[in-house]
Structure 1
Amino acid sequence: MLNFFSSLKLTLAVLLGLALLASGGTVAPQIEGRYDLYYQSLWFRLGLGLLALNLAVCTLKTIRRNLEDRRRHLEVLSSEQLFAQPLRYLLPHERPLDSFASGLRRAGYRVETGTGGQLLARRGMAGRWGSTLVHLSVLLIMLGALLAQLGFVGTLNLYVNDQTDKYFDWSKQDEQPLGFTFRLDAFEPQYYPIAVQFVAIDPASRQVIATLTAREGETVLLPGGELRAKVMRFFPFEEDLVLGLYRRDSYLGEYHALGGQQLLRNTFDPGFELRPAAFRDPIIRQLHSEVAILEGERVVQRGVIEVNSPLTYRGIKIYQTAYTRDKFGFWAAGFQLSRDPGEPLVWFGCITLVIALLAAFTIPYRAVGISRHEGETFLVALSGFSGEGGGKAFDALEQGLTIEEKNT
C-alpha cells in the first residue's frame, strides 16, 4: 500500500488529473458569480488531498532513505556486495588508511570509520536532503493554504467620521461581527502634481488682470511684481487652490483661491482676487486614510492605510480598496479585510522551497568508500557518480589519492 501511495505513476496521474480539472475552471459557469468557488469544491480538494498524501508518503520514504545511507553504505563495504559496484579501483595496499582519509578530507569529504575499519566518505549532504526539503516545503504550502480556510475575507465601506463593528463576509454573504470598532477619521485622494491655471481679478471692475499657470510646488510672480505665490496644494473636487504668499523672502500667509462663486475670507489681502480657472485632469497617486481602532470606547491604535500599505490588528489586515464622493461632497472609503492564519506557513514554505531547489540542483551528493578485502584495498563509488560526468569525477578522485601517495 505504501509503495502505491509513494509511486511516481500516482504522482503523474494526480498532477495530470488536477491539471485537467483546473482547466475546467476557466470554462465552467461561475458559482454565485465567483470563479474561485470552483476550486474550493469538495471533489477538487479531494484531488489536492490525494496529492498531499502522495507527497507525504514520498517524503517519509526519502527521510528514511537518507537516515539509512550510512548503514547501507557500510554494509556494502563490509560484504561481497563490494564487487558488484561498477566503479571501483585498487589502491596501494601498503598505504595506511589514515593517509587515504586525509586525502578524502582535502577533497571535501566528511570521513567516518566503520566497525570493520572501512572508510565511508560523503560530501554534499545538503544536496542529498534537498529533494526531501522540496517535498516538505510543498506540504507546508498546502497546509498553509488549508489553514487559510479558518480565516476570512470581507469588506466594509465608511463615510469619514463614521465607525462600525461589522463587516461583510464574502464566503457567508452576510454581515459578521468584527470584534472591535473601526473608525475612519480622514480620507484624502492624493494626486501627482497638477498643472493649474488661475486668474487674478480686479475686485472693483471684476476684470481678469492676469492669467497664471503653475504646478504644485512651483512659484509664480503675481501682478504688480511685489508678491510671489507658491502653489502648495490643489484639491480638484473642491476646486480649492492653496497658495503661500511671499513678499521677497518674507512669508505673508496662506491664501485659499476657490473656484466658481465660493467665498472665503483670507487673512491676507493681496489687492485682487485669485481664483482657479482650469486644471489638467488629476491622476491618482495614492489613497490616504487615517483610521482608529477602538475597543469599547477606548482608542487602542491609530494608523494610516494606503494602497499596498495595510494596517494590521489582531492578525487582520485592512487594505484600502475604493473611494467615492457623494453629491453633497462627503468622502467615503472602502476597505478589504482579511485574516489568513496560514500565511506565515506559505511564506516559510516558499522560502525553503527555493533554498531546497538550489541545494538539490547545485550541490551534488557523493559517497565513496575504502575497504580492505582479501589482501586488497578498494576505492568504491557508492552514490552520486552516475553518467559520464560521475565517472570522470570518480577517476579524478582516484588519481588524486594515487598521486598524493606517490608524492609522499
Structure 2
Amino acid sequence: MSSPNKHKPTTSAQAPIDERDIGAMEALWAFFSSMKTAIVLLLFLAAASVLGTLLEDRKGVTLYGSSFYKTLLALVGINLTVCSLNRFKLVWRQVFGPVVVTDRQHIAGMAGSVSLTTPGQVDSVSERIAKALRSRRYKVTSAGVGSDIAIHAVRGRAGFWGPHVTHLSLLVIFASAIYGHFLGTDGYAPILETERTTGYYRRGQDKLTPLGFEVELRNFTIEFDGNHNPTGYKSDVRIHQDGREVHSKVVDVNHPLTWQGISFYQSDYGLNGLSVVITGLSGKSKRLSFTVVEENTPQGRRYVIKEMGLTEVELDGRKLHLLVHNLVPDYVGGEALNRSLLPLNPAVEVMINDRWPQYKGLDAWQRLGWMTEGKSARFKGYNVTIERLIFYSGLQVARNPGLPGVYTGFALMILGILLSFYVTHKTIRVHLTPAPEGVSVALGTTQTGNPDAPDRDIQHLVDSLSPQTAESQEGMHS
C-alpha cells in the first residue's frame, strides 16, 4: 500500500526556494557582476571624490586617505574584475572558437541579409565565396551539415577586445596606484640654504627617515617679471654620496630632480634667518645671526625675529647693543611699507645703542631705518650691514614604484579606445543548400559601428555569385 504522501504534489512555495538556494560565493559573484552594482559604486565614488575635494579645499580635511575611500576604491576594483572575467570567456569563444553552423532563419534576421540562387555545385560555390571573402581580409571557417555547407567569416576580431582592454587598463591603473601608495614614498624635506639633509619627514610623522644620500641646497632664488611679480621659485640642489657630488639640478615646480628613483619637487619656501655684519673703526668685524620664525595667522604666514633680535657685541673696546625687529616680508618703503605676505624683499628695522644698560630709553637708541639685504648704515664710525637673508626650501619627496604601471594602464586605455571605436568588427554568415536551379545561398552580416550602413562586402559576394560570374568561373575551372 502506497503512502498517502507519496504522490503529494510539490507546493508552489517550495520551488522558488530551491531555485534561489545558491551558495554565498555565487550570490556574491552575481552581486559584483551586476551592472546596477557598477553604476551605484561609480556614483558613490564620484560623490565621494567631489566631497573630498571640497573638504580638502575648505576644511583642510583629507578624505582620499580614509578607510572609507579606500574601501570604495576596492569595491570598484572588484566589480571591474568580476565583470571583465564574466565577459572574457564569451569573447574568447567568439574570437577563437566561433559557432560556424547556423540555420537560414538566423541569417534572415541579420542585417543586410540576402537570399539568392546561383548555378553550380555546393562545393564549388563554397570555394568561390571563401576566396572572395579572403580577398577582403576575412578569416573564413566552414563546416558541412549533411549536403549543406555553413560558412563563418570574421574581420576586425581585435575590435572585440576593445572594451576588455579598457577594463584591463583601469584595473592596471588601480592596482599600480595601490602598489605605489603602500610601497612608495611621500614626504617633505625642509633644507636651509648652504646646508644639507640626510633624510625627510613622512607625512604625519616627526621622525626623520634616511634617504641613503645627502641633499644640499646651494641657494634659493625667486624670479620676477617687470612689475616685480614672482614668476618662478628655484632651488639649486646638489646630491652627495660617498663624500662626493654625484648629481645636481635647479629644481622648480614642474622640473624635479630624481636620484635613485626618488624625486624632489619644489613645494614650499620661506625665510629662516638673517646675518648682520658690524665693522669697527679698526676694520675688524663681527657677524651676528638672527633666527626668523613663522607664525600662522588668519591673514596668512607671518615672519618674526626670534627673541626680539636684541644682541650685545663688543668691538674696538666699545659695547654695542643691536636691535633687529619689525620684519616685513615684501618691503616697498614709503607709507605702504609692505606689499604682500610673501618674502619677496624682506626688510628689518635696525636700532643701535652704545650706552646700554645705563641708558635704556628711546632717546638712547639710534634708529638706522629699514634695511634690506646688502644695505648698510653708519653709526659713530661703525658700519652695520645686512649681509644676507637665509631662506629655506621645502622639497616634496616622492617615489612611486607604481608609476610605470600607471603609464602602462594609460597606454592600454588608449589602445582599448582605438580598438573600440576605430576597428570595425564584422561577421558574415553564409548557408549553402542544393537547389534544382543550382545552389540556394543565404547571406547575412553583423558589424559594430553603424549596422544599417550599406555593406560593400555583401554586395561583393552577391556580384561574385551572379549567373554571369558563376558561368565565367565555371568555364575557367573546366
TM range (shorter): 0.5 to 0.7
Where does residue 248 of structure 2 map in the other structure? 302
Tell whether 2:164 aligns with 1:129: no
| Change in CA separation of 1:93 and 1:316 when aligned onto 2, cut-off 3 Å | farther
Distance 2:249 2:401 in 1: 22
Report the CA distance between 1:132 and its aligned residue: 0.5
Distance 1:385 1:44 in 2: 37
Tell whether 2:187 aligns with 1:154: yes
Where does residue 272 of structure 1 map in the other structure? none
Within the candidate set 101, 106, 112, 2:141 is matched to 112
Distance 2:255 2:57 in 1: 31
Distance 1:26 1:331 in 2: 32
> Contact 1:59–1:132 (CA<8 Å) still a contact in 2?
yes
| Change in CA separation of 1:307 and 1:27 when aligned onto 2, cut-off 3 Å | closer
Q: Which has the larger radius of gyration?
A: 2
Within the candidate set 38, 58, 61, 1:35 is matched to 61
> Contact 2:158–2:419 (CA<8 Å) still a contact in 1?
yes
Tell whether 2:429 aligns with 1:369: yes
Where does residue 451 of structure 2 map in the other structure? 390
Matched AA of 1:170:
R
Where does residue 176 of structure 2 map in the other structure? 144
Paired residue total: 313
Distance 1:104 1:189 in 2: 69
The 5 A counterparts of 1:153-232 are: 153-172=186-205, 174-192=207-225, 194=226
Gap regions ≥5 residues in structure 1: 195-280
Distance 2:36 2:459 in 1: 41
Within the candidate set 94, 98, 101, 1:78 is matched to 101
Judge which range, 292-301 or 372-381, deviates more: 372-381
Distance 1:147 1:321 in 2: 24
> Contact 1:112–1:121 (CA<8 Å) still a contact in 2?
yes
Where does residue 51 of structure 1 map in the other structure? 76
| Change in CA separation of 1:340 and 1:29 when aligned onto 2, cut-off 3 Å | closer
Normalising by the residue count of structure 2, what TM-score does the alignment of the two structures yield? 0.58
Matched AA of 2:187:
G
Report the CA distance between 1:377 and its aligned residue: 4.7
> Contact 1:289–1:306 (CA<8 Å) still a contact in 2?
yes
1:288-326 CA-partner distances (Å, limit 9, x unpaired): 333222224233323332331111112111112233444
Tell whether 2:314 aligns with 1:288: no
> Contact 1:385–1:393 (CA<8 Å) still a contact in 2?
no
Distance 1:3 1:51 in 2: 15
| Change in CA separation of 1:136 and 1:93 when aligned onto 2, cut-off 3 Å | farther
SS of the equivalent of 2:465 reads helix
The 5 A counterparts of 1:58-69 are: 58-69=83-94
Gap regions ≥5 residues in structure 2: 1-25, 276-388, 470-478
Tell whether 2:39 aligns with 1:16: no
> Contact 1:159–1:332 (CA<8 Å) still a contact in 2?
yes
1:157-199 CA-partner distances (Å, limit 9, x unpaired): 222220011212114354322222111223333344x5xxxxx
> Contact 1:385–1:391 (CA<8 Å) still a contact in 2?
no
> Contact 1:368–1:379 (CA<8 Å) still a contact in 2?
no
Normalising by the residue count of structure 1, what TM-score does the alignment of the two structures yield? 0.67
Distance 1:93 1:54 in 2: 55
Report the CA distance between 1:71 and its aligned residue: 6.4
Where does residue 314 of structure 1 map in the other structure? 260
Report the CA distance between 1:373 and its aligned residue: 4.1
Distance 2:442 2:95 in 1: 16
Matched AA of 2:114:
Y
Report the CA distance between 1:151 and its aligned residue: 1.2
Distance 1:30 1:321 in 2: 17
Matched AA of 1:19:
A
Report the CA distance between 1:69 and its aligned residue: 0.9
